[in-house]
A = this chain, B = another copy of it.
Amino acid sequence: MDHMSSNLEDYLEVIFSLESVNSEARAKDIADAMGVQRASVTNALQKLSQRGLINYQPYSSVTLTPEGFRTATRIVHRHKVLYDFLHTFLQIRPEVAEDTACKLEHHIDDESLETLTKFARFIMTCPRTGKDWLEAFTRSCNERGACTNCSECIKSCLERLDDKCLDSSEPRSKTS
């Protein structure tokens, strides 16, 4: 009884989205957003209501309870982390990334999600990686752009680091 199905998680997510975008969530709009019939929505809303995740009265718009809000936030967070990873790091096309994130979000465990977040941050903040490293990866994916001079690549990496250190710590004169 306490387990939340993928399906209900999707409904909750849509309600969350409609509430923030439209400022209210009507059954019709939920049906449109989910691409299902209104009868299916009624059914889902009754279940979400039973679980105390939404305030639901027939013929009036749906609102999230505090508990529902927490749950929805958690799901949206999962979605965002996955989408960002797929889109920003793997360069997956937005629609595909969106779609896949939407499916994976129901199945990834907390530990993996949390570590994925850290991983993404590490790639962006470690001086050995960062934006240009990611671009090199993207080029390597597109066949015609394999790296040619690793030595130079690493050196410029070092230079950027030095520049940053100069900027932030000792104001030494920039000589390169």
Interface residues of A (CB under 8 A from B): 86, 89-93, 96-97, 99-100, 103-104, 107-109, 111-112, 115-116, 118-119, 122, 126-129, 133, 136-137, 140-141, 147, 150-151, 153-155, 157-158, 161-162, 165
Contact assessment for A90 and B104 in the assembled complex, using a CB-CB cutoff below 8 Å: no
How distant is A54 from chain B, measured CB to nearest CB, in Å? 26
B147:A158 contact, CB within 8 angstroms: no
For A125, the closest partner residue in chain B by CB is B140
Question: By the criterion CB–CB under 8 Å, are A162 and B151 in contact?
Answer: yes
| A154-B150 in contact (CB<8A) | no
Name the CB-closest residue of B to A121.
Answer: B140
A126 → chain B, closest Cβ, in Å? 7
